[in-house]
Amino acid sequence: MSQTSIDTITHSKKCLDDITSLLVSAGYPKAGDMGHSGEEFDKVVGGLAWVITSTLSTPLPISLSTLLQASSISTRISLSEILHTTLLQMEMPFEISPHQIQGVDAPALLPVVQWAVKNFLERRRLTGDAILNGGGGVEFKKLYGGTGGLYDEEETGRQVEDMQERFRVKGRKYRFKGQDDLSVSGTEEQRVHKCLLEYGEKMRSYRGLKGGDGGGNDGGGGGVGGIKQGKVGKLSAFDRQLADAQKVAEEEEKALDESRERMAAQLMQDCEELGAGAEVAGRGGVGGLVTLGKGEIGDANEEYEKMRAQMLKERQDRDEKKEMYLARKKALERDIAEGGGALEVKSGEREQGEKARAEMARMRGDVQQESAMNSKIVEEMQKLSQKEEESGQKEAMKELWELVQRNERVKREEKAFKEDCKKKMDALRAALENFGANSNESEEERTRTAEIEGIHSKILAKHEKVRQLLAQRNLQVASTSRKIDDVPTRTELIQYERRFVELYQQVALKLEETRRYYATYNTLDTTRNFLAKEVKLIDSITNNFEGAMRNKASQEEFLQQFESIIKGVQDSLSKQEAVMKRKQDEVAEKDAEYTLVIEDQRKYFKLVKDFQEECNRNEALTLKVEEIGGGE
């Protein structure tokens, strides 16, 4: 990978981090949540859609399922085109194409996100966080009751009294007959159970095998009870053992709960109420579980109906406000229509009309946003309330809420701690600079410092010179090492000698074989020449024989020619016999020389053997002499 590619990837990653930081700071925490889908498209494009939707008075034509299921290419392309069209309608000053949005081109998206977040923050500043305040009000009403809209003093006082009633410390509700305090008799579990019963509480099991408070019987818990019985046949051996252990634990827990209920009923027979002013358990308490029955379930149902009626009343109030707004809008439009001619004449009135129109548009957008947001919030709150009632995890949700608040508090403390550390660091740096500026060294100390610096400079120069000499010496050593490596060792020379001997033997064998081939060829060629001469002579005799036998003179001439031919053949035979004898003499001479060489070789081997024996004897005597010298 080239350096340019690495720089491009680093720049893109930095731009992506800046985009996620902007979205998180604007109020979209999912952009910085690594557990949320883990894809850049979901975080960046989802955050951009959220910012645009929060900025515009009308929502985008994008459903929640489209944002959550944007996994296919076609869905991403359509979503990118919608965002691109919306940005163009918002008169975005930057140029960007849909494929850059779909491909999450971070360098191109960064200025767009900055511009969108800036508009969103400006919009929030103008609206005064009306949407966020409305959502907080709905959440407050869900937890603590009360009507919507502005709170008057009477309503505020009622809510304060209600919260004090909900969270005030409970007193004793019952007292055991014949004693002023807890009985010291019985087991520790019985004494604890008595104490809880006096304050309207009871002991419960917290093994959490079935998921609800005390381990309810539903299968929606978060423990191992979530294993469905219909899939037992497909489970592994360990899962089946775990399911069996769960059943046994559930039976034990059920038996323990039944025994504690019997103990509570038996102990309650010896209790008496402390009076009409005794407390009852609040919504968050669990003391009322001792006497839970159809009556309290009916009370809870009535409370739910009251809350439902209250929410309907709030919706009617919002509808009335909407009608008032529409009436005001019509009145303003009528006033603007009636004063159209005067607006063209008077510039002041025209400006006032423009302001009225802007105010009307803002109020219309605010009302639409508030109504849409309120509807969404009410719907989500109803769903959450229903899920909360069905799950039976009120205590867990309460604990989760406390943990979230604790996390936010820790974040604020961390931020304050970092700011404090930064201030302290700045103060220390300033003190250090002041100390360096105000330090007054004596003349002797400055002289000593100058001498030390001079000595240090000389040592550095000497070190640099020694380092250069060392580098030169290393170069010389490397050059000498290469020259030494070029000189063959004794082992290499022996190997070279063996290879040359083998090559010489191979060449000698090849030369001898070639000589035999040449000798054979010359012999066969000479034989062929003699045979050709013989055939030619026989043909000549055969052709001239009849003509030579016709008269006496031709016969004599023919015989003379025949004798000369015989003489020539005998001369040739004598020459060849002389050559053969010479060759035989040469072979005999070579055999004699070979015999002498073999004898010299035998003597050489014998002398080498004797020399080796003498060398071994010399080494043995040398060792003995060294041993004798060492003993002395």
Q: Which residue has the higher pLDDT, 212 or 97?
A: 97
User: Where does residue 369 rank: exposed (0-12), middle (13-18), buried (19+ CB within 10 A)?
Assistant: buried
The domain limits of the chain are 3-128, 393-432
> Does the structure show a pLDDT above 50 at 219?
no
pLDDT band at 441 (very low <50, low <70, confident <90, very high): low
Question: Which residue is it, tokens 């019987």?
Answer: 217
DSSP class of residue 57 equals: S
pLDDT band at 368 (very low <50, low <70, confident <90, very high): confident
Helices 40-55, 73-89: inter-axial angle, 10-degree rounding = 30
> Does the structure show a pLDDT above 60 at 142?
no
Of 114, 130, 118, give the one whose Cα is nearest residue 57: 130
Helices 106-127, 347-391: inter-axial angle, 10-degree rounding = 100
How does the average pLDDT of the chain come out, rounded? 75
Report the percentage of the chain scoring pLDDT > 70. Answer: 66
Q: pTM for the whole thing?
A: 0.26
Q: Phi-psi category of 208—alpha, beta or left, where left has phi over 0 and alpha has psi -120 to 50?
A: left
Instruction: Quick: pLDDT tens for 494-553.
Output: 999 999 999 999 999 999 999 999 999 999 999 999 899 889 988 988 888 888 888 888
Instruction: Quick: pLDDT tens for 451-493.
Output: 898 899 999 999 999 999 999 999 999 999 999 888 888 888 9
Residues 6+ apart with CB under 8 A from 24: 31, 32
Q: Which of 74-83, 309-318, 470-479, 541-550 has the highest mean pLDDT?
A: 470-479
Q: What is the pLDDT of residue 338?
A: 60
pLDDT band at 165 (very low <50, low <70, confident <90, very high): low
Q: Which of 145-149, 196-200, 269-273, 375-379 has the highest mean pLDDT?
A: 375-379
- How many Cα atoms are found within 13 Å in the side-chain-facing hemisphere of 398? 9
- The residue type at 41: F
Residues 6+ apart with CB under 8 A from 75: 66, 69
- Least reliable range by pLDDT among 99-103, 167-171, 259-263: 167-171
Q: What is the pLDDT of residue 447?
A: 86
Q: Which of 161-170, 284-293, 386-395, 515-524 has the highest mean pLDDT?
A: 515-524
pLDDT band at 602 (very low <50, low <70, confident <90, very high): very high
d(CA 335, CA 360): 13
d(CA 623, CA 618): 9
